A and B are shown apart, each in its own frame.
Chain A
Amino acid sequence: MATQQTRSLARFMIAPSVILLFVWMIVPLLFTLWFSFQQYNPLNPIRNGFVGFSNYALFYSNPAFLSSILNTLIIVVSVLVITVVGGILLALLLDQPIWGQGIVRILVISPFFVMPPVAALVWKNMIMHPQYGVFADIARFFGAEPIDWFGQHPLTAIILIVAWQWLPFATLILLTSLQSLDGEQKEAAEMDGAGFLSRFIYLTLPHMSRAITVVILIQTIFLLSVYAEILVTTNGGPGYASTNLPFLVYQKALLEFKIGQASAGGVIAVILANIVAFFAMRAVGKNLDK
């Protein structure tokens, strides 16, 4: 029943959202692209001007750049492995009949609602502090030397914090998917004598595969841009040991005012995100066709 009138009304109703998002995302992005070919320093404007690809070259030759890409990927992959494997195990556990299921669910989901700076500070000071943290207390209890997490293993520490924040999300999504599994199918498999492991591999895992894909994709989007956790705990250090790409771009742009290089880094971050987005869109898009 789409008449000319309703069609133009529809366009009118959609327009504000589309225009706002377009202006917000595309215009600054074009600026970034432009800056990435410029020498631009607000503190030293005399030397500003077009420099071709030299920002990319500078960014590339900077040892911090390659390590930041590597750190970005290490954070994404490690957190994904921990949260997906942990999430599947937790979802299987919470799917069992247990007393107090509601409360258990609430406890498990809670970390997801903690704002990143709070999560990072609590872990940094109260859990991982080499002298007064709970981990140090535990280590001393067993007669071991407490670990200096942020001095010795900064990236591992950040991965642990971020994984703690995202494990609830993975668990919740996977549990939701698990609970939509047809009970009769499970029973039939059981009647046929399928053990727990073969039921899991041939029935449960295929059923959850879609949810697992979604968890991986959505987390990847957020994990590519981990920022507050690094800012609050290690500030990227020691050296560049825990600097990821977003943090490096932030440092170049707002601390060193090397706008050209920062913009080149930004463009690279966009390319990285787009590779992920390509797969994400296909997965979500399939769902739309149903």
Chain B
Amino acid sequence: MARAVTTQHKTIATAAAWIVALLIFFPILYTIITSFKSEQEAIQGFALIPSGTMESYAEVQAQSGYFKFFLNSVILSVGSTLLAILIAVPAAWSMAFSPTKRTKDILMWMLSTKMMPAVAVLFPIYLIFRDTGLLDSRIGLTVMLMLINLPIVVWMLYTYFREIPGEILEAARMDGASLWNEIIYVLTPMAVPGIASTMLLNIILAWNEAFWTIRLTTTNAAPLTAFISSFSSPQGLFWAKLSAASTLAIAPILIMGWFSQKQLVRGLTFGAVK
């Protein structure tokens, strides 16, 4: 460094950054704090120290079958991600390793489906789901979420696979490896980190998807997005319970998100910013 960072400079920057960060994080922090209050406390004005009661959590669990919704969220997000990976890996694979003239066009077209507004197809999809009995079914919604995220999955895998050097494949081939051996012993180990990152980001996206999951479900297949939305018509004050339910709904994904910052940049910018 040409210039030593002065302690004063660092102190000011640190203070400013922490203040801004805490302000941004505040709504989440306050939700967590409120979840440990009683309903009485929750509306008694601003207070950062809760009494520490767990009654809201107990009530959320007891009423309305909270864990059914939680389970649905897990099934839908993990299931749709696995399904998407299964379908996308071969596609991304062949586009990365044996690209043709049309590879770019196919990738762009896939991306363009992502830009189609969901409302434009709301009614046809609704009809199709209703007439095939898929409305409010986990299978239907899993497929739906898979399709929504498929373009991102293909793209992310494509950008990861493209970084695997082709020479390694040639070397393996020279050594007499069959296509099958090549895939299992050479490519798969190198592709695992990329696939894992892709899965992580897509579980997050599927978990938070809040259009189809709300519109195509009622009770059986309803995940946490639908459950939380049902709190929107207030019958009395229930903020501690709302906070407890919200905390449970966002905690797992928040923690996963913290580990996926880098993949997030890559996945959501389609490799345009690294």
Given B94, B98, B111, which contacts A281 in the complex, CB threshold below 8 Å?
A: B111
Point out the residues of chain A lying under 8 angstroms from B253, CB to CB.
Answer: 113, 115
Q: Complex formed: what's the CA distance from A246 to B91 in Å?
A: 32
At the interface, yes or no: A154 with Cβ under 8 Å from chain B?
Answer: no
> In the bound complex, do residue A99 and residue B10 qualify as a contact, i.e. CB atoms below 8 Å apart?
yes
> In the bound complex, do residue B104 and residue A288 qualify as a contact, i.e. CB atoms below 8 Å apart?
yes
Residues in B240-262 with C-beta less than 8 Å from chain A: 242-243, 246, 249-250, 253-254, 256-258, 261
Point out the residues of chain B lying under 8 angstroms from A193, CB to CB.
Answer: none
User: Smallest distance from the beta carbon of B34 to chain A beta carbons, Å?
Assistant: 6
At the interface, yes or no: A177 with Cβ under 8 Å from chain B?
Answer: yes
Q: Which residue of B lies closest to A24 (CB)?
A: B147
> In the bound complex, do residue A25 and residue B116 qualify as a contact, i.e. CB atoms below 8 Å apart?
yes
> In the bound complex, do residue A21 and residue B120 qualify as a contact, i.e. CB atoms below 8 Å apart?
no
Q: How large is the interface on A (under 10, 10 to 19, 20 to 34, 35 or more residues)?
A: 35 or more
Given A13, A112, A253, which contacts B257 in the complex, CB threshold below 8 Å?
A: A112
Q: A121-B232, A228-B214 are in contact. Are A110 and B121 (CB under 8 A)?
A: no
Point out the residues of chain A lying under 8 angstroms from B113, CB to CB.
Answer: 21, 24-25
Residues in B194-230 with C-beta less than 8 Å from chain A: 204, 207-208, 210-211, 214-215, 224-225, 228-229
Point out the residues of chain B lying under 8 angstroms from A214, CB to CB.
Answer: 269, 272-273
Q: Complex formed: what's the CA distance from A19 to B104 in Å?
A: 17
Q: A221-B115, A269-B120 are in contact. Are A137 and B46 (CB under 8 A)?
A: yes
At the interface, yes or no: B27 with Cβ under 8 Å from chain A?
Answer: yes
User: Smallest distance from the beta carbon of A33 to chain B beta carbons, Å?
Assistant: 9
> In the bound complex, do residue A108 and residue B21 qualify as a contact, i.e. CB atoms below 8 Å apart?
yes
Q: How large is the interface on B (under 10, 10 to 19, 20 to 34, 35 or more residues)?
A: 35 or more
| 17 additional A-B residue pairs with CB within 8 Å, beyond A121-B246, A273-B117 | A20-B87, A25-B113, A27-B124, A93-B20, A110-B25, A111-B24, A113-B253, A117-B214, A121-B231, A125-B239, A176-B265, A249-B122, A253-B122, A263-B123, A265-B119, A277-B115, A280-B115
**Which residues does A use to contact B, with CB under 8 Å?**
2, 6-7, 9-10, 13-14, 16-18, 20-21, 24-25, 27-29, 31-32, 35, 90, 93-94, 96-101, 103-127, 132, 134, 137, 164, 167-169, 172-173, 176-177, 180, 187, 190-191, 210-211, 214, 218, 221, 224-225, 227-228, 231-233, 235, 245-246, 249-250, 253-254, 259, 262-263, 265-267, 269-270, 272-274, 276-277, 280-281, 283-285, 287-288
Nearest 7 CB-CB pairings of A with B: A113-B257, A31-B124, A13-B90, A266-B120, A28-B121, A28-B124, A228-B210
A-B contact pairs, 12 of them (CB 8 A): A2-B100, A14-B91, A14-B106, A17-B88, A21-B147, A93-B13, A109-B258, A112-B257, A115-B207, A122-B31, A137-B46, A218-B268
